[in-house]
Amino acid sequence: MGALRLPPFIDTATHLGYPAYFMTILGVWYVLAGIVVLAPRLPLLKEWAYAGLIFNYTGAAFSHVWMGDSLEKLVGPVIFIGLTLTSWELRPQSRRAFTPSPLPTVGFSRKRLVAYWIATVLVAAELAVGGVWDLLRIDLVRDVVEHLGYPTYLLIIMGVWKLPGAVALLMPGSRRIKEWAYAGAVITYASAVASHVTVGDGIGRVVAPTVLLALTLVSWALRPPRLMSKRPRARTDEHRP
Percent of the chain surpassing pLDDT 90: 74
**240: confidence class by pLDDT, cuts 50, 70, 90:** very low
Please say whether the beta carbons of 206 and 197 come within 8 A. yes
pLDDT score recorded for residue 96: 87
Please give the model's pTM, rounded to 2 decimal places.
0.86
Please say whether the beta carbons of 169 and 178 come within 8 A. yes
For the chain, the distance separating the N- and C-terminal CA atoms, rounded to the nearest angstrom, is 63
Give the C-alpha distances (Å, rounded to integers) separating 153 from 16, 18, 177.
10, 10, 25
pLDDT score recorded for residue 136: 96
Could you tell me where the DSSP H helices lie in 67-138? 71-90, 110-136
pLDDT score recorded for residue 99: 65
Residue 36, pLDDT above cutoff 50: yes
pLDDT score recorded for residue 87: 96
Residue 190, pLDDT above cutoff 90: yes
Compute the average pLDDT of residues 159-184. Answer: 94
Residue 231, pLDDT above cutoff 50: no
Closest CA to 199 of 9, 11, 25: 25
pLDDT score recorded for residue 110: 84
Task: Give every CB contact of residue 137 below 8 A, 6+ residues apart in sequence.
Answer: 152, 155, 156
Looking at per-residue pLDDT, the higher value among 218 and 111 belongs to: 218
Residue 236, pLDDT above cutoff 70: no
